[in-house]
């Protein structure tokens, strides 16, 4: 039974890693985010949220909601344009990057 569990775990590893996103790829994609959210995910502008340390699931759901224009208010009009070109992988990667920052 232990051998079967180990084989299953090894088989699923690429999917689990992909589900979490790639923080290095997220960092490479985060340059445009820094203009409003700060280079380290800490915004200097009080009305813009800090992204550093946010939960990955929250960042993902927020970016997806901006991408499909279901999130309203605040800077949503700006965020629609920022999120529109992001792929699902980009969103996961950005979420992994920002959630890993202190």
pTM of the predicted model, to two decimals? 0.80
C-alpha distances in Å from residue 81, one per residue of 5, 21, 69, 77: 44, 22, 10, 7
Structural domains in the chain?
2-99 (1.10.760.10)
% of the chain surpassing 70 pLDDT: 81
Name residue, tokens 């996961």.
92
- Exposed e or buried b per residue across 71-90, where buried means at least 16 C-beta atoms within 10 angstroms of its C-beta: beeeeeeebeebbeebeeeb
What pLDDT digit, counting tens, does each position of 48-92 carry? 999 999 999 999 999 999 999 999 999 999 999 999 999 999 999
SS3 69: coil
Band of the pLDDT at 17, cuts 50, 70, 90? very low
Residue carrying structure tokens 């980009």: 90
């Amino acid at each position: 039974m232990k051998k079967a569990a180990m084989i299953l775990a090894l088989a699923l590893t690429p999917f689990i890693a992909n589900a979490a996103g790639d923080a290095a790829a997220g960092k490479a994609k985060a340059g445009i985010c820094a203009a409003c959210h700060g280079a380290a995910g800490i915004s200097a502008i009080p009305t813009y949220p800090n992204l550093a340390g946010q939960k990955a699931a929250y960042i993902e759901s927020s970016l997806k909601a901006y991408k499909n224009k279901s999130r309203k208010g605040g800077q949503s009009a700006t965020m629609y344009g920022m999120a529109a070109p992001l792929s699902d992988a980009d969103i996961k990667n950005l979420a992994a990057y920002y959630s890993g920052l202190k």
